[in-house]
Amino acid sequence: MAAIKPKHQRLVLLVIALAALLAAALLAMWALRSQASYFYVPSEIVADPPEADRAVRLGGMVETGSIETEADGVTMRFVVGDGTARVPVRFSGIAPSLFVEGSGVVAEGKLASDGTFIADNLLAKHDENYVPRELQDMNEHQVSQVVAETQ
């Protein structure tokens, strides 16, 4: 039996390496498929709702006058809109301090069969002029020093 030529050995090793790389990529994609969280705006959720058990993120503006706290004091209902569509949201938990009517919000959770978005977590957005409470009493030079030290 003849030995494999060095040129063919390199080709075989290259094919094996590519197959292993492809297998690792497919395995990683399969493992992360349930961890992926898709981002929707209200008009996308209304037009093409995700599957009931899929974890998604809903982003938009909290409509003015829509925040209602239920009798248990922990559950709140509000409406997220994007100017085109509106999605009712229910959240049980402690809302972030920046969560107010008329502000941006990203809600993480799942869409219920009745069209209500059941949020597990709320992320409140702030504007570009936001200054953390700890830095409000500092002048601009002090703030820039603190920021430089943390980088």
**Residue 85's domain is classified under what CATH number?**
2.40.50.140
Which residue(s) pair with 38 in the sheet? 56
Q: How much is the average pLDDT of 77-104?
A: 90
Q: How much is the average pLDDT of 99-107?
A: 88
> Do 23 and 57 fall into the same domain?
no
Q: Is residue 16 part of a domain?
A: yes
For the stretch 126-148, pLDDT in tens is: 655 555 555 555 556 555 665 56
> Do 28 and 70 fall into the same domain?
no
Question: Which tops the pLDDT comparison, 68 or 99?
Answer: 68
| Domain count along the chain | 2
Cα separation of 91 and 105, whole Å?
12
> Do 58 and 4 fall into the same domain?
no
> Do 86 and 52 fall into the same domain?
yes
Identity of the residue numbered 95: A
93: nearest Cα among 59, 64, 124: 124
Query: Where is mean pLDDT largest: 28-32, 94-98, 118-122?
Result: 118-122
Distances (CA, A) of 33 to 23, 27, 42, 87: 15, 10, 23, 26
Q: Is residue 14 part of a domain?
A: yes
Q: Mean pLDDT over all residues of the chain? A: 82
> Per mean pLDDT, which range of 24-33, 101-110, 124-133 is the poorest?
124-133
> Do 3 and 46 fall into the same domain?
no
> Do 43 and 113 fall into the same domain?
yes
> Do 43 and 28 fall into the same domain?
no
Q: How much is the average pLDDT of 75-99?
A: 91
Domain that holds residue 109: 38-124
| Residue 51's pLDDT band (cuts 50, 70, 90) | confident
pLDDT for position 150: 54
Q: How much is the average pLDDT of 108-137?
A: 76
> Do 89 and 19 fall into the same domain?
no
